[in-house]
Amino acid sequence: MGYTVNLLRDFLNLKGYTYQLSLDWTRREPASWLAQNLPAESFKPRRTPHARQIERRATRTEQLGAKPLWPGYGQADAVRTPSAVRTSAKMGNFFTWLVTRRRPNVLVEFGTAFGTSGMYWLSGLETTRSGKLFTFEPNREWAAIARENLRSISTRFESIDGTFEDNVHAVLGDSPSIDIAFIDAIHTSEFVFSQFELVVQRLNPGGLILFDDVDFSEDMADCWRRLARDPRVLASLTVAGHVGAVEIN
Max Cα–Cα distance, the chain, nearest Å = 49
Residues in the chain: 249
Residue 73: per-residue pLDDT: 87
% of the chain residues with pLDDT over 90: 90
% of the chain residues with pLDDT over 70: 93
- On the question of a cis peptide bond just before residue 74, with omega within 30 degrees of 0, the verdict is no
Q: What is the DSSP string of 103-136?
A: --SEEEEE--TTSHHHHHHHHHHHHHT--EEEEE
Neighbours of 181 (CB within 10 A): 28
Q: What is the pLDDT of residues 186-239, one digit of tens each?
A: 999 999 999 999 999 999 999 999 999 999 999 999 999 999 999 999 999 999
In the structure, what pLDDT confidence band is assigned to residue 74 with cuts at 50, 70 and 90?
Answer: confident
Q: Which amino acid is at 214?
A: V
- Helical axes 2-14 vs 89-102, angle rounded to 10°: 50
Using DSSP's 3-state secondary structure scheme, residue 155 falls into coil
Domains of the chain: 2-248 (3.40.50.150)
Report the first-to-last Cα separation within the chain, whole angstroms: 42
Residue 8: per-residue pLDDT: 53
In the structure, what pLDDT confidence band is assigned to residue 10 with cuts at 50, 70 and 90?
Answer: low
